[in-house]
């Protein structure tokens, strides 16, 4: 139903005000309310999906804490939290932000809270995961990060929405082992054809719905999927999903 709004229901007022601010409509606007609401929801969902993809596509960032600015390498834990080695100063500040992959104003910015864990403690596997991706760290303290808020391309996203568990976490180690044991040549060919990367000893270190994380000679890159993956996959299905077979 179209037409002007008059005396909207009480529950509609906050949404109407939000749409007025977002799209610039004022009193007497004639656009259909349901269509605008759907447009707002669709745009917000699209922004969220793009932000999540950006977070998974990179493993490097710039971290700001207090007056310090420095590069940081991270990994994503199976439950969706971020993991990184940490300086003592990082663990003692309440004002910490990640810029992914760098400080581009249109890039992904995360306001995060760091929580220390120990490599020989219950969450020690997270430190092992980081080492598989990046090697030996300079810092010997470890932290997981909770995302309080995200900013991306002019929009603001609730931090909890950015933390998504990997549905392939249970089968990830098996898939990585199978591909690394029997399909290295296929990964090399795909890296060269899709990303123009010639890697001498590529190592598949992660599998998730966006693609494969591959540790190359000097960096970790992502091979995107051409078809969706389900909760449990064989190595052949994963190779097919990145266009190898």
Domains of the chain with bracketed CATH: 10-57 (no CATH), 60-162 (2.30.110.10), 172-241 (3.20.180)
pLDDT of residue 142: 97
Alpha helix (H) ranges present in 28-123?
A: 33-57, 88-91
Task: Single out the residue of 184, 39, 25 nearest to residue 212, CA to CA.
Answer: 184
pLDDT of residue 110: 97
Walk across the sheet containing 211-215 and list its strands. 203-208, 211-215, 220-224
* 72 bridge partner residues: 61
Phi–psi pair at 220, nearest 5 degrees:
-110, 125
Q: How do the pLDDT tens digits run along the chain, 245 residues long?
A: 433 333 333 333 333 334 333 444 444 444 555 555 555 567 788 999 999 999 999 999 999 998 899 999 999 999 999 999 999 989 988 889 999 999 888 899 999 999 999 999 999 999 999 999 999 998 789 999 999 999 999 899 999 999 999 999 988 998 899 899 989 999 999 999 999 999 999 999 999 988 899 999 889 999 988 777 766 666 777 777 777 65
Task: Single out the residue of 194, 200, 245 nearest to residue 223, CA to CA.
Answer: 194
Sign of CA dihedral 126, 131, 133, 138: positive
pLDDT of residue 16: 38
User: Distance between CA atoms of 216 and 221, rounded to whole angstroms?
Assistant: 7
pTM of the model: 0.79
DSSP classification of residue 160: G
Q: Are 165 and 79 in contact (CB under 8 A)?
A: yes
User: Distance between CA atoms of 224 and 207, rounded to whole angstroms?
Assistant: 10
């Amino acid at each position: 139903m179209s037409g002007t709004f008059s005396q909207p229901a009480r529950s509609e007022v906050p949404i109407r005000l939000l749409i007025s601010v977002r799209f610039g409509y004022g009193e007497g606007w004639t656009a259909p309310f349901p269509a605008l609401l759907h447009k707002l929801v669709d745009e917000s969902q699209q922004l969220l999906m793009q932000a999540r993809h950006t977070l998974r596509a990179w493993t490097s960032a710039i971290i700001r804490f207090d007056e310090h600015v420095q590069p940081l390498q991270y990994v994503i834990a199976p439950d969706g939290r971020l993991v990184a080695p940490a300086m003592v100063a990082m663990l003692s500040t309440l004002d910490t932000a990640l810029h992914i992959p760098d400080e581009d104003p249109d890039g992904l910015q995360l306001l995060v809270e760091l929580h220390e864990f120990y490599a020989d403690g219950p969450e020690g596997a997270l430190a092992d995961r980081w080492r598989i991706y990046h090697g030996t760290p300079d810092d010997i303290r470890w932290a997981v990060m909770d995302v309080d808020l995200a900013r991306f391309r002019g929009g603001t996203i609730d931090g909890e929405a950015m933390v998504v568990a990997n549905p392939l976490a249970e089968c990830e180690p098996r898939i990585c082992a199978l591909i690394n044991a029997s399909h290295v040549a296929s990964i090399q060919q795909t890296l060269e054809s899709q990303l123009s990367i010639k890697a001498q000893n590529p190592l598949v270190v992660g599998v998730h719905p966006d693609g494969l994380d591959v540790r190359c000679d000097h960096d970790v890159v992502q091979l995107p999927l051409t078809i969706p993956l389900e909760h449990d996959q064989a190595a052949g299905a994963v190779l097919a999903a990145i266009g190898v077979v």
